[in-house]
Amino acid sequence: MKKIDAHLHLVQNIAGFNGKGRLNALGNGDAIWDDGTLIHLLPNEYGETDFTAEAVLRLMDTNGIDKAMVLQGSLNGYQNYYTWQTMRQYPDRFMGAFSVDPFTEQFMTILQRHVRDLGFRSMKLEISAGGGMHGYHVTTPFRLDLDPRVGQMLHYLANYPGFNIIVDYGSADQISHQPEAIVNLAQRYPMLNFVVCHLSFGQTNQLALYQNTLDQWQPFTNIYTDLAAIQDINDETSQPYMASTELVKRAYQTLGSERLLWGTDSPWSATFNAYADLASWLEKADIMPTSALENVYYQNAERLYFNSEAKRAVLEAVDPSQC
């Protein structure tokens, strides 16, 4: 079965930042936050201090993964330009999203450069309190559907029908958790696609809340969600992933197969569970028929991220380093 990892991160240089400060590379895939917290960020044998496109291709080829969608986040630090270079070098294997912090003075200049000049057709907003903007903009909490800076960005992106807004808003105990804001934005911008990461941080000890979120999203066909890192979120470190199976089953029953995207959140998630397990568990879970699995594993990401217009925009952009 063909597969696209719809949630993966490249790391040319570890440059993470969040409420713990800056993330500093230690080697052997390890890193340390400024507050002293140690993490094992990179899977063994795939990078000492980086997770390059070539390492990822080796990992993908070993596990039968056709393509990958590269996202940005504060854990690794934004890798926008390296992502763009990778898309240009391997357009049949990688597409990607850029990120911008709307609290940056030149946020609109940054956004317009990546969309108009570099040809990106997806943007990632990492706003979670645990690892994103709400963790380092602690005095300025904001809602995606009310903040004027976010509104300014989305008004501009509405000029590009089919543009993808990918959102990680953290778990339900965080101020950044905003499933209802996604509903409001999907209604306000029907020409844009909204992809919420990690099944909205669904957890089996909060199934009523999780189902309520899915029910809110159900009428809006421009709301999607990915399956990345749901094992980590539910503390599952070996198959069978029973909690993940229950969460995906509910999402499939409520949203159908055409609004779910399989992904892994590698490299970090591949340090908790082997990439081979993350790649194969959904088939083994026997939640949906083969035709639905094909949607989740490949067709939906192909339609959203790898469509001909998205590839054309990247390939026709002028490389600023050559000007």
- The residue ranges of every structural domain in the chain are 4-314
Q: Smallest Cα–Cα separation from 229: which of 115, 71, 118, 23? A: 71
- The C-alpha atoms of residue 236 and residue 44 are separated, in whole angstroms, by 19
What band does 276 get if pLDDT is binned at 50, 70 and 90?
A: very high
Could you give the percent of the chain with pLDDT greater than 70? 99
Mean pLDDT of the chain: 96
How buried is 13 (Cβ within 10 angstroms: 0-12 exposed, 13-18 middle, 19+ buried)? exposed
Query: How high is the pLDDT of residue 321?
Result: 73
Residue 323 has pLDDT above 80, yes or no: no
What CATH number should be reported for the domain whose range is 4-314?
A: 3.20.20.140
Q: 84-103, pLDDT tens digit by residue?
A: 999 999 999 999 999 999 99
Q: 134-165, pLDDT tens digit by residue?
A: 999 999 899 999 999 999 999 999 999 999 99
